[in-house]
Amino acid sequence: MENGVSSFNQLIHELSVDSDTSSVDYSSAEEDSDLNIYPASPSSQSSRASGATTFTKYDRHYRGWIRCIFFWILLPAKLLLGIPVYFCHFLYNRGSKVPAISESHQSPNLRSIKKVLTLRDHIVHRATDRRRGVIEDLHLAIEIFIEAIFDVVHKAAHFILSPLEAFRNLSRWISSHNGGTRENDGSVLEASFTTATLGENDPAPTERNATFHQSLNTDARTCQDVITELGYPYEAIHVITADGYVLLLERIPRRDARKAVYLQHGIMDSSMGWVSNGVVGSPAFAAFDQGYDVFLGNLRGLVSREHVDKNISSRQYWRYSINEHGTEDIPAMIEKIHQVKTSELKLSQPELELETDDQLYNLCAVCHSLGGAAMLMYVITRRVEEKPHRLSRLVLLSPAGFHDDSNFVFTIVEHLFLVLAPILSPFVTSFYIPTRFFRMLLNKLARDFHNYPAVGGLVQTLMSYVVGGDSSNWVGVLGLPHYNMNDMPGVSFHVALHLAQMKHSGKFKMFDYGSASANMEVYGSSQPLDLGEYYWLIDIPVNLVAGRKDKVIRPSMVRKHYKLMKESGVNVSYNEFEYAHLDFTFSHHEELLAYVMSRLRLVENTQKLSSSSPRAERLKKKGQ
Q: Residue 355: pLDDT above 50?
A: yes
pLDDT at 37 over 50: no
Is residue 612 predicted with pLDDT exceeding 60? no
Q: What is the rounded CA–CA span in Å between residue 264 and residue 262?
A: 7
Find out whether 320 and 300 touch, Cβ atoms under 8 Å.
yes
- Helix (H/G/I), strand (E/B), else coil: 318: coil
Beta strand 293-297 with 362-368 is: unpaired
| 192, 206 Cβ separation under 8 angstroms | no
Domains of the chain, first to last: 223-350+357-603 (3.40.50.1820)
Q: Secondary structure of the chain: what % helix, strand, coil (to 5)? A: 60, 10, 30
Bridge-partner residues for 489, per DSSP? 302
Please name the residues in contact with 561: beta carbons below 8 A apart, sequence gap of 6 or more: 376, 396, 399, 401, 402, 508, 544
Better-scored residue on pLDDT, 567 or 182? 567
Element (H, E) at 493: helix 493-505
Rg, C-alpha atoms of the chain: 30
Alpha carbon of 624 to those of 240, 613, 618, 619, 621: distances in Å?
Answer: 41, 17, 10, 9, 5
Which SS3 state, helix, strand or coil, does residue 597 take?
helix
272 exposed, middle or buried (CB, 10 Å; 0-12, 13-18, 19+)?
Answer: buried
User: CA-CA-CA-CA torsion for 563, 569, 575, 580, nearest 10 degrees?
Assistant: -50
Provide, rounded to the nearest whole percent, the portion of the chain with pLDDT above 90.
Answer: 40
Q: Is the dihedral of CA 462, 468, 470, 471 positive or negative?
A: positive
Average pLDDT over residues 324-353: 92
Q: Mind listing the pLDDT tens digit for each residue in 264-315? A: 999 989 999 899 888 888 999 999 999 999 999 999 998 888 999 999 999 9
Q: Per-residue pLDDT tens for 374-408?
A: 999 999 999 999 999 999 999 999 999 999 888 88
Mean pLDDT calculated for residue range 448-467: 81
Terminal Cα-to-Cα distance of the chain (whole angstroms): 35
- Answer with the residue of higher pLDDT: 304 or 158: 304
Confidence label for 437 from pLDDT (cuts 50, 70 and 90): confident
C-alpha 188, offset from chain centre: 30
**Contact call for residues 492 and 429 (beta carbons, < 8 A):** yes
Measure the CA angle with vertex 587, ends 584 and 593; round to 5°: 60
